[in-house]
Structure 1
């Protein structure tokens, strides 16, 4: 079988622009003609093996950058947006979406921004107590804007990650004690005191208060989070400047996200953590003990191992609450998560609440034919005292089945039996499966056959 042709014109233009080269200079360095480069950048011709080698040898480009991950994510996001009932009579074919994502990614993102603005305006007008007397200008939700920023960065921020790794390398003993010493040198006083939440910092008195009821790994994480906000402020601000968020609220949310990212990267430094992940075959419990982090923190960190030239297994990671709402999500795989409407109920993460402290394993296949090994676990968090509410969450971590040999949780699973893979989807509106006993609404891209004289699992049949 001949290898698939690589059409990545937008990525090629992005690399050239990043290097600050004209088409003529870029073509000369790659030893190709100017017309040939122009054709590749416009997806009229595939990128040749010689060009791929030239990018790696001449410019040190990680060739995995050329994979179509961004395009796949854009296609998935557009399909989901087009599942909105407003588009019910105007859904473009999948081939057109792929063409737009490959050749005009900026236009595709503009469409997603426009649809997001429409949804927010629609929801605002649907609720009078929110709509009356308020600014009706449509703007992207700050939370969604920040989530999309990390999503399209592959959940990896190189400068912040490397700064965290350097900070961790400076610790000669216990990481928490080292951080306390650094903060003390900055004039910060640390107190353990209940009643002020998990963490509270008073800029006026320079007193940092942590809850003694929080788990040790939580205290350590919050200590590092506060150091990031104070000791790494210049780096974080520079990174936020590059992101160009549309509102101050988005920027503040992203600042918290950057501090969280730094804290996690200090607890689990990239090189050492990636090596341990390979050695333990991604055993979350062993990694949790080795690095003094929670199961959720370890799972999230595994999804960030996307450093150019040293990438780990592409994982997807998500956290859901008991209502099925996805509260955290990231995917370095082709599998994406529903933005509008509920997630697929056949996903094993929904069952994790029924089996606290146990890992659930699932072999799953999505409608595009991709197969995954998925693990799910309840990670509910106690309030730390009698009468305080418990925050109930479950996490899901998964990768394509081709990586199963590197995943301890795949041991003993029958990977060769087709029936072992459970069919799952993203959401019902964009899932093409005709036979699904859990379907909530019909798929938008298929016509329905309704026969009042027949009733199966569904009150309709899905046509072709």
Structure 2
């Protein structure tokens, strides 16, 4: 869905008391075309958007509406909730709400998030009730104690001729059972509290996503720190594993071990790398690639040397859970490592020179495909921007495991995206880049570029782990990339018609649809309609 740039242009123009004809003449377009722009029926970008911002004397970022695009994406996901199927939403309702009543749109988004959080907690407790053996045992003991207390109380109440000794025996039994019941209730409450502490947020990962979007996935303080660290590494003997290994040992006493058994807590979730603070050992799996080793060495060196910079960034975050804080620190460490391995200005110049050829860049910087793709997303420095990219990663089951959205492009936060996207098609041709020009139902056109990445197996019995990563950019920027060569970008007839996901897609004629889309109140859901009409009976006339 388009961001409400047109509404912002219209509001800014009216506040300056400039007519449509005057503004159209100054920016070099017809009044009728400006009218289409202001009604959000035409995309506007590049030089034209800059001329409009100049004539209206406002910052171009105030027109592009990146914050509004994120809010629009949130509303699209909310309105696709099956609970809201029966409501007769108008086609432009979300966009108009964001443009005219942004506070109300934000309120809806926050209320829905609170609802999702409550639903998550309810599902969590339901799962625990069904599958937690300790919880089942505690509940059984509570029920047994209540039954014993009730039986004793009924005997005391219904049998008037009990002897004093027998009455005392029943009273003592009730006392014991009630004390036991009190202890059981305390244990039960503690069991739930311990579980809910880890589930206080509906999704810590969602909190991190929101944080990265708010910062445009760019952290100037980390870029500055990375520049100094890179110079320090190069002065120590040139950038690479040898220098990083020596600096870690000389400055921090860290010993780098490749292969063998992971240090620390046995073999629980060793992954491809692990840092064990008690032994001061950075362990790297023997099957890990040189790109992974270099990146993790740079990450540990950055986290240890620039810990104060990371701490200052962390202090500015408003995160609600310990898990979110842990994920945020991990994300900042990875960002810092990326900025060390790919110095901003040097990497941007190389990307422009190579026309954003990811394979050429990975060879130039001795990095992995995913590392290069992720760094491309962070080229958002004011006055020194690269092409704006969105990023997605999917596992073989189609579940989205990492994402950074692009303003104007609706990327699902979780679950599955449109089955026609290149991110899924890449699994059919492993290790081969797949490019795809797509068009959404609102007319937005994008280049999708996907490729599989695979973690090498450490042994014969270990199943290789594969994923697919995808970059997405607006078609306006495709001619700046090597991937646009040979494509007729002016002809949209060959575009693949797609949607964000089945629930959010309005293409009723899509043969790949797996779920029904949102429909107006009273509409008949074709996918769930029986082949035989409801009124059919044996003997009915044809």
Question: Shorter-chain TM-score: what band?
Answer: 0.7 to 0.9
TM-score normalised by L of structure 2? 0.69
SS at match of 1:374: strand
Superposition map of 1:238-257 within 5 A: 238-257=312-331
Match of 2:67 among 56, 67, 70: 70
Higher relative contact order (CA 8 A, sep 6+): 2
Residue-by-residue CA offset, 1:121-142 (whole Å, 9 max, x unaligned): 3244235233675346863311
Partner Cα distance (1:122, 1:316) in 2: 29
Q: Check the 8 A contact 1:188/1:208 in 2, yes or no.
A: no
Match of 1:169 among 225, 231, 234: 231
Superposition map of 1:192-203 within 5 A: 192-194=257-259, 195-196=261-262, 197=270, 198-203=272-277
Match of 2:252 among 167, 187, 191: 187
Match of 2:420 among 322, 328, 346: 346
Q: Check the 8 A contact 2:116/2:202 in 1, yes or no.
A: no
Q: CA deviation at 1:84?
A: 0.9
Q: Check the 8 A contact 1:367/1:432 in 2, yes or no.
A: yes
Q: Check the 8 A contact 2:393/2:400 in 1, yes or no.
A: yes
Q: Which residue of 2 aligns with 1:398?
A: 472
Distance 1:286 1:130, change over 3 A: same
Q: CA deviation at 1:48?
A: 11
Distance 1:214 1:297, change over 3 A: same
Residue-by-residue CA offset, 1:226-285 (whole Å, 9 max, x unaligned): 123221211111111111101111101110010011111111111111111110000011
Q: Which residue of 2 aligns with 1:229?
A: 303
Distance 1:235 1:321, change over 3 A: same
Partner Cα distance (1:10, 1:237) in 2: 41
Q: CA deviation at 1:101?
A: 3.2
Q: Which residue of 1 aligns with 2:282?
A: 208
Q: CA deviation at 1:454?
A: 8.9
Structure 1 ranges of 4+ moved more than 6 A: 8-11, 47-51, 53-56, 451-455
Partner Cα distance (1:417, 1:49) in 2: 27
Alignment RMSD, CA only? 3.0
Superposition map of 1:18-417 within 5 A: 63-64=60-61, 66-90=63-87, 92-93=89-90, 95-102=92-99, 105=102, 108-126=105-123, 128-130=126-128, 134-135=192-193, 139-170=201-232, 171-172=234-235, 173-194=238-259, 195-196=261-262, 197=270, 198-339=272-413, 341-417=415-491
Of 216-225 and 341-350, more deviation after overlay is shown by: 341-350
TM-score normalised by L of structure 1? 0.80
Greater helix proportion: 2
SS at match of 1:399: strand
Partner Cα distance (1:75, 1:244) in 2: 22
Residue-by-residue CA offset, 1:23-80 (whole Å, 9 max, x unaligned): xxxxxxxxxxxxxxxxxxxx9xxx9979858978xxxx7x346421220121012111
Q: CA deviation at 1:372?
A: 1.2
Partner Cα distance (1:267, 1:434) in 2: 46
Q: CA deviation at 1:175?
A: 3.3
Partner Cα distance (2:498, 2:365) in 1: 33
SS at match of 2:384: coil
Q: CA deviation at 1:187?
A: 2.4
Q: Which residue of 2 aligns with 1:24?
A: none
- Give 1 or 2 for the bigger CA radius of gyration: 2
Q: Check the 8 A contact 1:190/1:207 in 2, yes or no.
A: yes
Structure 2 unaligned spans of 5+: 13-37, 39-48, 130-134, 136-190, 263-269, 534-542
Q: Which residue of 2 aligns with 1:448?
A: 524
SS at match of 2:401: strand
Q: Check the 8 A contact 1:373/1:398 in 2, yes or no.
A: yes
Q: Which residue of 2 aligns with 1:16?
A: none
SS at match of 2:303: helix
Partner Cα distance (1:182, 1:125) in 2: 50
Q: Check the 8 A contact 2:400/2:414 in 1, yes or no.
A: no
| Matched pairs, number | 413
Distance 1:226 1:363, change over 3 A: same
Q: CA deviation at 1:453?
A: 7.0
SS at match of 2:255: strand
The answer to whether the aligner puts 1:430 opposite 2:504 as a matched pair is yes
SS at match of 2:288: coil
Partner Cα distance (1:363, 1:72) in 2: 21
